[in-house]
Chains A and B, each alone.
Chain A
């Protein structure tokens, strides 16, 4: 694939879509700030934070970073490794539970 071909393929998108995504990112950031402002706690707080976070991240990756328009070969190479991160999170969450359990156990019960 030579460079002249790339230039032709790099079609530009209408300015409207960028402005829309930009606006949505502002609104979502405002919402996630509101989660703290209003002072939601517990499961509601965590789920709202995660929802707004993933929406923002998805919009940035899909439209600002053009992944929505890229071919699947590239998109898959980039997204599948994320499952390894998910596994790592699960492992370390279990590890943390065990650590805090042993700390509390030896603190209250003794060695």
Chain B
């Protein structure tokens, strides 16, 4: 930028607000809501990273053996214990719901209202199934005596990391499910076709909202990929 152009701009604090609000777009072609969702997801990435890193630190620095997750999370089919069975099913359910969400975004942009709404509903039901199975897993472990401060399988830290990490992830899934149901209703009603104004905002509804919701949902799936690898498989 030449000195001449800079000299014509206001200075000081007025200049700062002028520069920041000068209608320049850093992320070309990205709707602002989508940028904000990405920035939120970035901050969420840091939160989950802190949990997983503290888990790494806790697990690596204990002198007591870590519980064998393969056995702790096994389910009995008949008499045979199948390792990580429930976790594997949960993983597949979450990936399935991620796939239906990706298709919902696609059909949304193609203005295929019915298809989009049904796929969002399918995603919500997938998420609900996941939360249900997680509740089952929690109650099973609590019955077996796993607590944040002790457990019968090994290192005491196991319980606190388990409840904290899967609990925080489960909360994200639950919030996502609530929003998915709300958006399924809005889509069925045709809000995104008519541009009906939302409850919390005066802005017109647009199918880009479904992509933003999709970003959140895929992120929840993404976090599970890391939890599955580090907490359950490692």
Contact = CB atoms under 8 A, between A and B. Distances in A.
B95 A12 contact: no
Most chain B beta-carbon neighbours within 10 Å: one of A15, A53, A56, A95: A56
Given A1-B29, A36-B233, A78-B38, A64 B110 contact: no
B36 to A, nearest CB: 12
Contacts of A103: 61, 63
Contact of B91 (A33, A35, A85): A33
B206 interface: yes
Contacts of B234: 46, 49
Interface in B5-36: 25-31, 35
Specify the main secondary structure of chain B where it touches its partner.
Answer: helix
Nearest to A82: B45
Contacts of B233: 32, 35-36, 45, 49
Interface in A37-78: 37, 45-46, 49-50, 52-53, 56-57, 60-61, 63-66, 70-71, 73-74, 77-78
Interface of A: 1, 3, 5-7, 9-13, 15, 18-19, 21-22, 25-26, 29, 32-33, 35-37, 45-46, 49-50, 52-53, 56-57, 60-61, 63-66, 70-71, 73-74, 77-78, 81-82, 85, 88-89, 92-93, 95-97, 99-100, 103-104, 107
21 contacts: A3-B206, A5-B29, A10-B109, A12-B106, A25-B98, A26-B92, A29-B228, A33-B84, A33-B91, A36-B232, A49-B229, A52-B229, A61-B218, A65-B214, A65-B215, A65-B222, A82-B45, A85-B45, A96-B57, A99-B61, A107-B63
